[in-house]
Amino acid sequence: MNAFDAIVIGLALLALISIVSTSLQVGISPMPSSRKAQQAIISAIPQNTEGLIFDLGSGWGNVIFPLAQSFPLATIRGIEISFIPWGASKIRALLFGPSNLVIERSNFQDISLESAEVVVCYLFPEGMSSLEAKFQKELKPNTLIISNTFRLAGWEPEDVITLDDIHQTPIYHYRVPLK
Ligand SMILES: C[S@@+](CC[C@H](N)C(=O)[O-])C[C@H]1O[C@@H](n2cnc3c(N)ncnc32)[C@H](O)[C@@H]1O
């Protein structure tokens, strides 16, 4: 093995350790939404949506890039805590745009959602529970919440789309009720 090979393998190992350790800390890996889920999420959002669309835990960017292309009048904010997927999607956005996409490395619990028009997420049961109080406190009435796979316990979905895939994946649509 020469020095170049050793550096490449070392960097790959560091990236893997970073992804695995953050996944263990936050409770979920940066597993991307499928193409069918991306399409279902896009279809759930009204065509003329303006304002802010959040992806809470934007991973490698599999949802935020198509969202930014589909909703040019909106600003898409991807919030991702894991360094490697955040860095990869950030570099892609810096190189190729689109200009209505903002990607931040943060814990979404520390981000105010008050100005959101739409919130998208693909998390896990405990992650959804941890967001319920935040949604109730910060989101405006009628804000649309779209969750890939996982429900918001205690909330009645406005609609549930079942994907034609091997898991029959549900895509939940919720509206924030009047306070
Ligand atoms: C299953 S992936 C979904 C990625 C992307 N939204 C998609 O649908 O393709 C969930 C992502 O949420 C991120 N995540 C989990 N908890 C987070 C938190 N508190 N703040 C920011 N990101 C978080 C994880 O690092 C992971 O990349």
pTM: 0.95
Is residue 5 domain-resident? no
* Token output for 56: 């809470």
* 38 CA: nearest ligand 1 atom: 8
Is there an atom of ligand 1 within 6 Å of 109 CB? Answer: yes
Is there an atom of ligand 1 within 6 Å of 58 CB? Answer: yes
The enclosing domain of 144 has a CATH number of: 3.40.50.150
Is residue 12 domain-resident? no
3-state class of 142 per DSSP?
coil
Is there an atom of ligand 1 within 6 Å of 78 CB? Answer: no
> Starting from the edge strand earliest in sequence, which strands make up the sheet with 51-56, in order?
101-105, 74-80, 51-56, 116-121, 144-148, 170-175, 159-162
Is residue 138 domain-resident? yes
pLDDT digits (tens), the chain, 179 positions: 888 899 999 999 999 999 988 999 988 999 999 999 999 999 999 999 999 999 999 999 999 999 999 999 999 999 999 999 999 999 999 999 899 999 999 999 999 999 999 999 999 999 999 999 999 999 999 999 999 999 999 899 999 999 999 999 999 999 999 87
